[in-house]
Amino acid sequence: MQMDASVRSVTGIRSATAITTDARACAQSRMDPITGDWTIFAPHRDSRPDQFGSELRNSPSVGIDCPFCAGEELSTPAPVWVAKINPDESFQAFAPSPNDGPASQYDIADWSVRVVPNKYPAVTGTATREPLHDPPARSNPLFLSREVVGGHEVIIESPSHVQSISELDLPEIKLMLFAYQQRLQYWRNQPGIQYISVFKNVGGDAGASLQHSHSQLLATDQMPNSVETINERMRSHQARTGCCLQCDIVRAELKQKQRIVAQTDSLVAYCPYASHLPMLLRVTTKEHLDHFDQLPFDVLDELARLIQRMTGWLESLVPNASYNLLLHTRPPGAHGNPDAFHWSLEFFPRISRVAGFEWSSQCMINTVLPEVATEKYRQCVAAENPRRVL
């Protein structure tokens, strides 16, 4: 897939779609005085439709009213970013103006990927003012709350009613990843934004409420404590050793080869030494890079191919399994040397349940050693092409 001039120019375009600044639309975050953790409260998300219930992920979708399918564009908010794959596999991307209206050519005409505001957002508003630290019970300083603002977007990955990455064509996966980059760049430039999460839920057990293949982006003006802890560990390692922690891990894994599943020219996929979930795969670049949205286009092509393969491995090992894809990149609010941070992507099936011990201790129990998971994935690689096995 080639990137034409219109795509090159879109990097500097900010979507002009209005985002409400009404304080009543902003979510509330409350701090637990014992743990120090903040919880976002968004009661309106309980109204989301649920197409799964207890059914399998790939259950028949005949008769399902899907707001993400082609022809249902008016069922979603107006798009903030739209792209179309051309016959030669290049693509054009646009950030529509609000003057175009919901019936603009970019909204109704042929499209390959659409990015729209989430109809049931966890956070809304803009992060252009100072956050409020205002306890709801002013007489008791233990009960702290604050307004949390940002944005919540849905990345619709195909006009066809597909449910998994495995059903997407390679150009669609590339464009999905490029959409991640574009929206990360947009939100990184918004004043006050501290953290951006990009993730994909496939299947009810993974948290999806709609079947149609899509990802989500959630940007907030609040850095989660767990993310800040990771950031501090990365900063500390870099300050102590002069090296990036992720780079050191990748070098060690490549040297041992015990948990390496696959490599490309630029990327490595491996099962981490202390995986907290069964069959978890981590992907990152062999060379240092802190921001995912700065990944070169040729490496994006490698990543799309690798993700397509990984999904195939997973679905051959665990048919019908729900799965999650999580993208970790340097948060806008992260301070310190950029050499301390390194992007990564995690991909895992939802085949275990979090029970009482895990909830009470925050210590996970993993029933599949990463070395065993690696061997299972390598068998899938061998089935593709025996020469690819490490």
List, by residue number, the catalytic residues. Answer: 214
Length of the chain equals 390
* Three-state secondary structure call for residue 387: helix
380 annotated to a ligand binding site: no
Distance (Å, whole) CA 199 – CA 161: 19
* Three-state secondary structure call for residue 173: helix
244 annotated to a ligand binding site: no
- Residue 279 · residue 153 · CB < 8 Å: no
Q: Which of 190, 185, 30, 158 is nearest to 83 (CA)?
A: 158
Q: What's 46's DSSP letter?
A: G
Number of H helices, E strands in the chain: 8, 14
Cα dihedral angle (314, 315, 316, 321), rounded to 10 degrees? 100
Task: Tokens for 154, please give them.
Answer: 């849905």
161 annotated to a ligand binding site: yes
Q: Which of 188, 161, 165, 185 is nearest to 175 (CA)?
A: 165
Cα dihedral angle (155, 176, 227, 130), rounded to 10 degrees? -50
Distances (CA, A) of 108 to 72, 216, 219, 248, 350: 9, 21, 27, 48, 35
- Residue 341 · residue 196 · CB < 8 Å: no
69 annotated to a ligand binding site: yes
Binding site: residue ranges? Answer: 66, 69, 161, 212
Binding site for Zn(2+): residue ranges? Answer: 66, 69, 161, 212
